[in-house]
Structures are given as C-alpha cells and as structure tokens.
Amino acid sequence: MKLLIPGTTTNFGAGFDTFGLALNLYNIFEFEESDAFGVEIEGEGKNLPRDENNLVIKVYKRACEVFGVRPEPFKLKQTNRVPTARGLGSSATAIVGGIEACVGLHSLEVDLEDRLKVAFEFEPHPDNLLPAFVGGFVVCVQDGGLTFNRISFPSELSLVFAVPDFELSTEEARRVLRGEVSLRDAIFNIQRASLFVSALLTGRYELLKEAVRDRLHQPYRSKLVKGFDRVLEAGYSAGAYAVFLSGAGPTICAITSDETSGSVGSAMREAFEGENVRARTLYLKAEDRGAFWE
C-alpha cells in the first residue's frame, strides 16, 4: 500500500503559527508485510534512521498503542521529495504518515481530533500538521483546544521556493524569538494577517506584499538566513506578489502568477548564489488533498 503526504508551507509572514498550506510535493510511504521493521529511503533525507528510530515507525507504534491495536511490523520504503529541515514540513509528513499508516493498515475509524492528539505528542504546531492531514489553506487557533477553518487556495497562484543548501532546525529558529511583544507589533501583525486572508478571498493579490510583512518572527529568523534581504528584493523585482520565509526557514517562498514564476525563481536563486549560497528552486501549487492512499 502506498501513502502520499503533502509537504507544507506555513506562517506567510504575518500569520505566524496560524496559517498553513498543503503543497503538491509529496513524501511517499510504501508498506510491505514483514517479520521485522525496516526502512529503505530514496530521495531527500538519506541520513534519516532506517530502523525503529525512524519517525514514521515511532509514530506508528505510538498510534497503535493509543488506538488499541497490535503494531504489526512492516518494511517501509520511504521516497522523500520534501527537503528536510528547510521549512517545508518534512517532519510533519512523517508524523502524519505514521498515524495514517496505523489507521489505514488496521482499517480503523479514528476521527481527526484523536489523530491530532497523537500528532501533537511529536509536533505541537497545527499549522504544519493540519494541511498534511486535510489539504488546502488552513487557519489555526490553538488555546487549550484547537479550532481551525480550511479554504481552497487560489489555483491561479503559484508558489516558488528558493531552497538554500543548508539546514535550519525548528528548535534553533524558535530560540531567537522574543517571549513578549509590544502592543504596536501585535496590532501590526493582526492587521496584516487579516489583510492576507481577505486578499486571497477577493483576488486582490496586489495587497499580498503588504500582508506578509511581519514583526513577530521574520525579523529575528531572517538573520539566520544568509542573503535573506537580497533574495526578498530579487523576488519582488522579478514580479512576485509576496516573498517570505517558508515556515521557520531557511527556504524562502514567493507567491507569484503562473506567468512570472520562472523569472522569480531564477532571480531568487541567483540572489542566493550572489551571497555564495547554493540554492535550488521548486515550482509548486497548492494541494487541496491531504494525506491519501494510492
């Protein structure tokens, strides 16, 4: 059985820990009955564990424990297309993959709330996890419980990712953030996050540049990404609607029209290279589907 989990991008500037989007870039997990757990990895993340320390297997075994079934061993073939530690939701695909494997391989009926309870044991941020589960563009509210709303992302928009050739862990990116913010900065982000959603819903894409401005995380995290300002300026100069850190970074994402995606991607990659940072570009679309079996 083959399970596909979409990668994600989150935050979109002002929507820190709130906005998440599924992408048409997938990690693929194939399961085969076996006497013992084992893992074969192709593509990204060749250094990931190939035994029971693999995150998919760890989550699978925990989900089996929570949902009351015996964890049957399998051989896992993991074909990774989502770059690791780059702000594109690689770990979320593994977490969702482990849970969906438990539910699918054991033919269980488990609602999303209970699946998320297991997922949160491994990753506390729903803006990464929810799009991988349900697809689309998700707005998350977390305060004890979880409330979210899902909308379709405009199909005429493209997403261009400049992926630098270095990793940045979420933990490191969290450490640079401030524990408290001013009222002025809080208002600044509330205004722009609201503007972002309204711009998507009304097709006012020229407003997105203002809507992704942020004062809560990007000013601090951007200092960990060599060439950030240069890449941002290059993206806008090439015609991007919006440019921002993808998740915690170091990948930089641009929202573009289909017509300008190629020139924006080239400009952003060249800007990284101008800072002596090797980078590659990914040209993606939003994915309305969450995890699915083939």
Alpha-helical (H) ranges within 106-212 are 112-122, 126-134, 170-175, 183-202, 208-211
Mean pLDDT of the region 106-112: 96
Return the pLDDT at 1. Answer: 82
The distance of Cα 183 from the centroid of its chain, to the nearest Å, equals 28
pLDDT digits (tens, 9 = 90+) for 178-220: 889 999 999 999 999 999 999 999 999 999 999 999 999 999 9
Rounded CA gap, 121 and 25, in Å? 25
pLDDT digits (tens, 9 = 90+) for 30-59: 999 999 999 999 999 888 999 999 999 999
Question: Domain residue spans in the chain?
Answer: 2-151, 157-284
User: What CATH number matches the domain at 2-151, 3.30.565.10, 3.40.50.720, 3.40.50.300, 3.30.230.10?
Assistant: 3.30.230.10
The C-alpha torsion from 258 through 137 and 193 to 217, rounded to 10°, is -90
Q: Domain 157-284 classified CATH 3.30.70.890? A: yes
Return the pLDDT at 179. Answer: 86
Query: Do the beta carbons of residue 252 and residue 228 sit within 8 Å?
Result: yes
Residue 165 scores a pLDDT above 90: yes
